[in-house]
A and B are shown apart, each in its own frame.
Chain A
Amino acid sequence: MADAVEVSGVCKRFGSLQALDNVSLSIQEGEFFGLLGPNGAGKTTLINLLSGLARPDAGRLSILGRDVVTQYRASRRLLGVVPQELVFDPFFTVRETLRLQSGYFGLNHNDAWIEEVMHNLDLTDKADTNMRKLSGGMKRRVLVAQALVHKPPVIVLDEPTAGVDVELRQGLWRFIQRLNHEGHTVLLTTHYLEEAQALCNRVAMLKRGSIVALDTMQNLLRRVAGCRVRLRLAGPLPAAVEPYLSEQADGEHVLALPGFRALEEVLAALRTSGLAIQELVVEQADLEDVFLQVVAAS
């Protein structure tokens, strides 16, 4: 069975900038896959290549086995893309926009699904409103709806929650997770790493056009051992604990510990000092720590 997304030896250059350098990865059907990286890493370029908005200089990309260059019509039918830019056609209402987008995919009698998508994205009340009159968050919802209007088996979300409120984020993720559970493959790029950590099964990290990490979320999180401890004490930090101090502000001490054995040492030192603990929070390493470590190391 073909992978949902197959990227093999892909290179793309813009003038002197090597946007992607021999990138290879595959995403299996039904995965919720995260594509992360700092600005300019090549995430959007890779998405543009998958969707046919750009053409690779070398390498091959396919969606469910359909080559995005030689079988572009078949591959585009299988792909729904939410672009990063907040773009819209100012001439049309929300419903007209979705009907036209559906028609571009050859689906001219698709109103039942269009209504369902609008309902799930809380757009029903705005169905007959001109796109120009929508808020930024509402326009973002329409972009998502446009990407889903032809029920694509592979959904690409390029920064879908940039600049949108918490309510939309939660509603959007509920809907996308439902689609993922129904078998749709999801490829997500986001700068909100906590979202990626909560949603993605597997992650690729890009830096300067190359993949610097590609693994399951679980394995990536294991890469960063240790934990952080946030402390508020009734007095000064004991000297025995100071070697672990990483930050200090407004009476809060943040300790970076290499492992749980060190945590035991810290707690013992605090007990010995007799200082009252006003607040203590233990935080495990998260995707942000992994991201910073991987990007710095590469």
Chain B
Amino acid sequence: MKTGFYSLFYKEVLRVKKVAFQTLLAPVLTSLLYLLIFSHVLERHVEVYPGVGYTAFLIPGLVMMAVLQNAFANSSSSLIQSKITGNIVFVLLAPIAYGEFFAAYVLASVVRGLVVGAGVLVAAMWFAVPPVDHLQWIVLFAVLGSALLGALGMIAGIWSEKFDQLAGFQNFIIVPLTFLSGVFYSIHSLPPFWQGLSRFNPFFYMIDGFRYGFFGVSDVSPWLGLAVVGASLAAITLLTLGLLRSGYKLRI
């Protein structure tokens, strides 16, 4: 029997395409501004990995940050907009199973995250070209990380009743976890206390594993990173499916 999964996924992708200036081009520009400023200021002062320039080091981190933040933004903003405008009712009235609902939103978030990430990577190559040591790790962490943030975005979108609450979720949880995950530095440059604390941040493992794919060097084993990201994704998936099944803040 045909299902509504494909149409819901297509709707989410079409929505991104309709406002591509905001959803795809703007995040690429933001990442390039980070790269321009940080690389200009720090290129000659910082060497994180031996033989790797700071700009080249920074590029994978910025790419992954763009992937994660845009994956989160996609599902969360789509859900909150649909809830506030009321058009979520069209999806809720349809015979779409919880798993399909989840998969459509998360997959669309992965697509947006990967497209933005690819855009940042291509544009950043004008500044420096990082090597690609293990392509499979790059793809694996990008896909798992964007899926995790897409699912987290669903939770934020379902929980939030107004844009203010969603902004709080984004600014007080997602952005700090992203910035404190080693996008701009290696955790080995931190004092021991902060190094230890960073290991409780799943975003650190996503950035570190993704960067390993480029340089073949990482702060922790990519296998450990994969385990942490995989377990986090499984936990968030179960939580999101539970919320959808219960109808939390979607059905009364």
Does B3 count as interface, using CB distance less than 8 angstroms?
yes
Does A73 count as interface, using CB distance less than 8 angstroms?
yes
* Interchain nearest-CB distance for B198 vs A (Å): 39
* Interchain nearest-CB distance for A118 vs B (Å): 17
CB contact list, B9-46 vs A, under 8 A: 10-11, 14-15, 18-19
B15 to A91, Cβ gap below 8 A?
yes
Instruction: Tell me which residues across on chain B come within 8 A of A146, comparing CB atoms.
Output: 90
Instruction: Tell me which residues across on chain A come within 8 A of B189, comparing CB atoms.
Output: none
Most B CB contacts (10 A, CB to CB) among A52, A88, A103 go to A103
Does A114 count as interface, using CB distance less than 8 angstroms?
no
CA separation between A14 and B2, bound complex, in Å?
Answer: 36
Q: How many A-B residue pairs have CB under 8 A?
A: 86
Instruction: Tell me which residues across on chain A come within 8 A of B247, comparing CB atoms.
Output: 55
B252 to A48, Cβ gap below 8 A?
yes
A104's contact among B4, B19, B86, B252, by CB below 8 Å, is which? B4
* Interchain nearest-CB distance for A162 vs B (Å): 15
Does B1 count as interface, using CB distance less than 8 angstroms?
yes
Instruction: Tell me which residues across on chain B come within 8 A of A74, comparing CB atoms.
Output: 95
- Known contacts A90-B85, A101-B94: A106-B11 contact under CB 8 Å: no
B252 to A76, Cβ gap below 8 A?
no
CA separation between A105 and B6, bound complex, in Å?
Answer: 10
- Known contacts A14-B252, A83-B89: A106-B2 contact under CB 8 Å: yes
B19 to A100, Cβ gap below 8 A?
no
Instruction: Tell me which residues across on chain A come within 8 A of B89, comparing CB atoms.
Output: 53, 83, 85, 87
A100 to B95, Cβ gap below 8 A?
no
B87 to A89, Cβ gap below 8 A?
yes
B95 to A77, Cβ gap below 8 A?
yes
CB contact list, B88-122 vs A, under 8 A: 89-97
Instruction: Tell me which residues across on chain B come within 8 A of A81, comparing CB atoms.
Output: 93
B127-168 vs A: 1/0 string, CB under 8 Å? Answer: 000000000000000000000000000000000000000000
* Interchain nearest-CB distance for B15 vs A (Å): 5
Does A248 count as interface, using CB distance less than 8 angstroms?
no
B94 to A104, Cβ gap below 8 A?
yes
- Known contacts A87-B89, A91-B14: A105-B252 contact under CB 8 Å: no
* Interchain nearest-CB distance for A4 vs B (Å): 17
Using CB atoms, name the residue of chain A closest to B250. A53
B10 to A73, Cβ gap below 8 A?
no
A104 to B251, Cβ gap below 8 A?
no
* Interchain nearest-CB distance for B83 vs A (Å): 11
B86 to A105, Cβ gap below 8 A?
no
B95 to A101, Cβ gap below 8 A?
no
B4's contact among A51, A89, A90, A106, by CB below 8 Å, is which? A106
Does B65 count as interface, using CB distance less than 8 angstroms?
no
Instruction: Tell me which residues across on chain A come within 8 A of B82, comparing CB atoms.
Output: 89
A61-99 vs B: 1/0 string, CB under 8 Å? Answer: 000000000001110110101010101111110001001
Instruction: Tell me which residues across on chain B come within 8 A of A106, comparing CB atoms.
Output: 1-4, 95
Instruction: Tell me which residues across on chain A come within 8 A of B19, comparing CB atoms.
Output: 91
B7 to A103, Cβ gap below 8 A?
yes
* Interchain nearest-CB distance for A155 vs B (Å): 12
Name B residues whose Cβ lies closer than 8 Å to a Cβ of A: 1-4, 6-8, 10-11, 14-15, 18-19, 82, 85-87, 89-97, 247, 251-252
Which 8 pairs from chain A and chain B are nearest by CB? Answer: A103-B7, A106-B2, A104-B94, A87-B86, A104-B4, A73-B95, A76-B95, A54-B252
Name A residues whose Cβ lies closer than 8 Å to a Cβ of B: 14, 48, 51-55, 72-74, 76-77, 79, 81, 83, 85, 87-92, 96, 99-108, 146
* Contacts A/B (CB < 8 Å), 5 sampled: A53-B92, A53-B93, A89-B90, A91-B19, A106-B4
